[in-house]
Amino acid sequence: MAILLNRCLHLIHFLRVVLTVATLIFPIAAPAREGPSCRSQSAELDFPYQSNVPTGWDHDRFGTEPPGERQIVTGPFISAFPGPEAERTGSPYRAVPRWVAYEMRALIDDDGQPVHPQGARRPSRWYELHQTSFLWDDRPEIESRGLDSSYRGFAALWNRGHLAARAHANRIAWQEGCNSHVFVNALPQHARLNQGDWLALENYAAAAANRFGRLWTIAGPVFTPGRSIEMIGGPSTVPVPVPHAVFKILAIETEAGIEARAFLFPQAEDEDVAAYRRCSGTQQESYDLGRYAITVARLETLTGLDFFTRLDESSRHAISSSSDAALWPIAPHFYGDRCGGRATTR
């Protein structure tokens, strides 16, 4: 019996040693902490979190006109949204913003490396705002109050496309990333564009902000006069027009002055959207974003908007004349997100 007990004690000691060594070699990972989640829509039609433009930030730094019937100023962006007049006149620019503008600042550590901002789990339904309630109030034919239901059933093809990117809003705070999920910041964007070349340009813009310190974005829809317009939304929902194209302007201010690069992404023809490549399977450096370059002056003609209105005419002309030039060179180490590499957070 004593011999058997002694053997058992030796076995227990041996197993303890094996377990200790195994723990050192193969440490048991602690369960991952679950990050924050965007809260659900409250009873009030409002942003989910209190939102203020950070001190010293100016989202529409250079001036964009017209300001829109309803201008919504919030922490991560400013939106020029059409009002009831656009509905009454049958303007194509309804239920989508005329333009959205925002400032983005560098987010890098002491070693000059990009910092990936914390984000929250996105809401399943986007937030409805009282500023857009005129689209369904006092309209008995509209049974679904809000715009989220207009996109449902169409999302596989037409995404709720951010104009002010959530990942860029996260640089202010993850709550502001949640606040970006509103329809004054969205339009129907083809899935291949939204998850492809548009996302690659968002990655580039973030890297440019890291390089230059500050970067401004203006984005919005383009409708071609006289051309038929596809609508999304089922019966009893708010009809939402699908833009023929989507534009984006990037602007920087350096010691040399103000510069801009402008882009136009068509999405009305099958051959246009077929050329877009999804970010998940395409290397960032393989995107030729210059193929979408356009001058600011040409965008003004296409959109009916005026850009850089706070500047004198000679400055505006100089900015436009170079706005379709090659992209600013951005070294790889300025990128926090890259297509085909680090998973990009949207």
Here the CATH number for the domain that contains residue 173 is 3.40.570.10
Question: For residue 278, what are the β-bridge partners?
Answer: none
Where does the pLDDT of residue 312 fall: very low under 50, low under 70, confident under 90, or very high at 90 and above?
very high
3-state SS class at 36: coil
Residue 194 annotated as binding site: yes
Q: How far is residue 104's CA from residue 58's CA, in Å, rounded to a whole number?
A: 10
Q: What's the total number of domains in the chain?
A: 1
25-59 per-position pLDDT tens digit = 444 444 445 789 999 998 889 999 999 999 999 99
Which run of H or E residues covers position 155? none
Q: Is residue 167 in a domain?
A: yes
Q: How far is residue 190's CA from residue 242's CA, in Å, rounded to a whole number?
A: 9
Q: How far is residue 285's CA from residue 332's CA, in Å, rounded to a whole number?
A: 9
Q: In this structure, is the dihedral angle defined by the CA atoms of residues 97, 322, 268 and 160, taken in order, positive or negative?
A: negative
Q: Is residue 2 in a domain?
A: no
Q: Are 307 and 296 in contact (CB under 8 A)?
A: yes
- Single out the residue of 307, 243, 300 nearest to residue 92, CA to CA: 243
Cα angle value 52/77/35 (rounded, 5°)? 70
Q: Is residue 27 in a domain?
A: no
> What is residue 344's predicted lDDT score, i.e. its pLDDT?
52
Mean pLDDT across the stretch 268-282?
96
Q: Is residue 218 in a domain?
A: yes
Q: Is residue 24 in a domain?
A: no
Q: In this structure, is the dihedral angle defined by the CA atoms of residues 319, 320, 321 and 327, taken in order, positive or negative?
A: positive
Where does the pLDDT of residue 9 fall: very low under 50, low under 70, confident under 90, or very high at 90 and above?
very low
Q: How far is residue 291's CA from residue 273's CA, in Å, rounded to a whole number?
A: 14
Q: How far is residue 30's CA from residue 149's CA, in Å, rounded to a whole number?
A: 40
CB-CB neighbours of 127 under 10 Å: 26
Q: Is residue 136 in a domain?
A: yes
Indicate the pTM of the whole model.
0.89
Backbone angles phi, psi at 8, to 5 degrees: -65, -40
Which comes out higher in pLDDT, residue 25 or 273? 273
Q: How far is residue 309's CA from residue 315's CA, in Å, rounded to a whole number?
A: 10
Told to judge if 162 belongs to the known catalytic residues of this protein, a careful annotator would answer: yes
Q: How far is residue 261's CA from residue 238's CA, in Å, rounded to a whole number?
A: 34
Q: How far is residue 238's CA from residue 2's CA, in Å, rounded to a whole number?
A: 85
Catalytic-labelled residue, pool 162, 168, 181, 244: 162
215-253 per-position pLDDT tens digit = 999 999 999 999 999 999 999 999 999 999 999 999 999
Q: Is residue 4 in a domain?
A: no
Q: Is residue 25 in a domain?
A: no
Q: In this structure, is the dihedral angle defined by the CA atoms of residues 316, 288, 269 and 153, taken in order, positive or negative?
A: negative
Structural domain harbouring 148: 35-334
> What is residue 28's predicted lDDT score, i.e. its pLDDT?
40
